[in-house]
Structure 1
Amino acid sequence: MRINVLQHTPTEGPGSIRTWAQARGHELYVYHPYQFGILPTVDETDMLVVLGGPMSPNDDIDWIHAERVLIDQLLRADKPIFGACYGAQQIAMTLGYPVTTAPAKEVGWAPVYRQSAAIPRLPEQLTALHWHEEQFAIPKGAELLFSSDRVRNQGFVLGHRVVGLQFHFEPQTEDVRTMCINDGAYVAGSALGQTVADIIDWPVPAENQAVMNTILDFITK
């Protein structure tokens, strides 16, 4: 399987998604449309991953619009799509649903709570890395998958092919360090009250890799 990854900043890479792909024998291709303006085609995509980034889907930028065209084509082709943070927002907007300011800016580690049994074997509560101040509306036909204490719409699952998460299960220890040392200023104003040092020192929960595996296995089975 060829997995095409859309990465939108040097600080937010595929992390545990790469680990899953390597374990399953899949090929990973990483695109940087914000820098090079290049996107894969539908025909060369077996699965699409849309990662996070500092931009908003509401920004009027050509490559952001082009991404939504690609997402729409993949939705129509019934191919697996996984979106994290901005990526999940892009999926929602492609489906015609707005991205708006969230009730609280969340930056740091905080629990999320499972709201749907659509994906088997997901724990009822997990600790995830949050790095956002916007939120998506849940698309029609999708199920609310996760919520946090401050932001209800933290994840959705659409059928058996699409999952969008507002938070991050993909960062591994070195990824968290990279996010924090380069984008640590973004912590200011977070409702979670954590410092950059707090976020770096928080051990990445081992179960997050297992949960990522479960989600990606579900949409690719």
Structure 2
Amino acid sequence: MRINVLQHTPNEGPGSIQDWAHANNHELYVYHPYQFGNLPTADQTDLLVILGGPMSPNDDLAWIKQERQLIQQLLAAHKPLFGACFGAQQIAKTLGAAVTKAPHKEVGWAPVYLKSNAIPRLPSQLTALHWHEEMFEVPTGAELLFSSDLVVNQGFLLNENVIGLQFHFEPTADNVREIAINDDQYPLTHNALHQTSADIIQHGVPSENPAVMAQLLNFIVKH
């Protein structure tokens, strides 16, 4: 399987998604469209992973619109897609859902609660890394997958092959340190979770998160 990853900022990479790809002998290709403008084609893609970033799907940038064209082609072809944060927003916007300011800016570790039993054996509560101040509306035809205490729309599942999460299960400990030290000012203003970069690093990655990330990916690629 060829997994194409769209990365949108240097400090938010594929993390445990890369580990899952290697463990399953998949080929991983990482694109940086914000810098180079290159995107894979739909026929080159068996699974598309769209990662987070500081931009908004509402920004008037050519590469953001081109990403959504690719997403639309993959949706039409019923290929699996996974989006985290900005990536989930991109999928939602492609499906006609709005992306708006969230009622609370969430930066740091906080629980998320399972709202659907469509994916078997997921824990009812997990601790995820949040790094956002916008949110998606759940697209028509999709079901709400996760919520947090501060933002209801934290995850969605569509047609058993598309998952969008407003938060992050994919970072490893090294990734968390990379995110936090390079974007260390972001948690300091209007952050409803009241965590600093040092707090976020000290918390560490919950041991179950890589397994849950793998479970989500296994689910969408097998349907």
2:201 aligned with 1:200: yes
CA-to-partner distance for each residue in 1:9-50, whole Å, 9 max, x for gaps? 001000010011111111000000000000000111001000
Aligned-pair identity (%): 70
The Cα of 1:219 is off from its aligned counterpart by 0.2
Secondary structure at the counterpart of residue 43 of structure 1: helix
1:216 and 2:217 equivalent? yes
Aligned AA (1:212): M
Once the 2 structures are TM-superposed, how far is the Cα of residue 79 of structure 1 from its aligned partner? 0.3
The equivalent residue for 1:24 is 24
Write the distance in 2 (CA, Å) between the matches of 1:195 and 1:31.
Answer: 30
SS in 1 for 2:138: coil
Question: In the alignment, what sits opposite 1:133?
Answer: 133
1:96 aligns to 2:96 (yes or no)? yes
Structure 1, unaligned stretches of length 5 or more? Answer: none
Match of 1:43 in 2: 43
Query: How far apart are 1:160 and its partner, in Å?
Result: 1.3
Q: Which amino acid aligns with 2:220?
A: I
Please give the secondary structure, in 2, of the residue aligned with 1:134. strand
Report Cα offsets for 1:84-131 as digits up to 9, x if no partner: 000000000000111000010000000000000011111000000000
The one-letter amino acid paired with 1:199 is I
Following TM superposition, by how much is the alpha carbon of 1:181 offset from its aligned partner in structure 2, in angstroms? 0.7
| CA apart distance, 1:159 | 1.1
TM-score (norm 2): 0.98
Two-structure CA RMSD over aligned residues (Å): 0.5
| Off by >3 Å, runs of 4+ in structure 1 | none
Gaps of 5+ in 2: none
Deviation at 1:203, TM superposition (A): 1.6
Aligned partners of 1:190, 1:22: CA distance in 2, in Å? 36
Map 1:2-17; keep pairs closer than 5 Å: 2-17=2-17
Cα distance in 2, alignment partners of residues 179 and 74 from structure 1:
29
Corresponding position of 2:76: 76
Quick one: which amino acid aligns to residue 111 of structure 2? Answer: P
* Amino acid paired to 1:204: V
Q: Match of 2:102, as an amino acid?
A: A
Deviation of residue 196 (structure 1)? 1.1
**Which residue does the alignment assign to 1:60?**
60
* Cα deviation digits, residues 142-201 of structure 1 (max 9, x gap): 010000000000000001110000000011001000011100111022100111110000
SS in structure 2 at match of 1:177:
helix
What are the Cα deviations for residues 68-91 of structure 1, in whole angstroms up to 9, with x where unaligned?
A: 000000000000000000000000
TM-score by length of 1: 0.99
The CA distance in 1 between the partners of 2:120 and 2:83, in whole Å, is 19
Structure 2 counterpart of 1:106, which letter? E
Show the counterpart of 2:173.
Answer: 173
C-alpha distance in 1 between matches for 2:180 and 2:148: 22
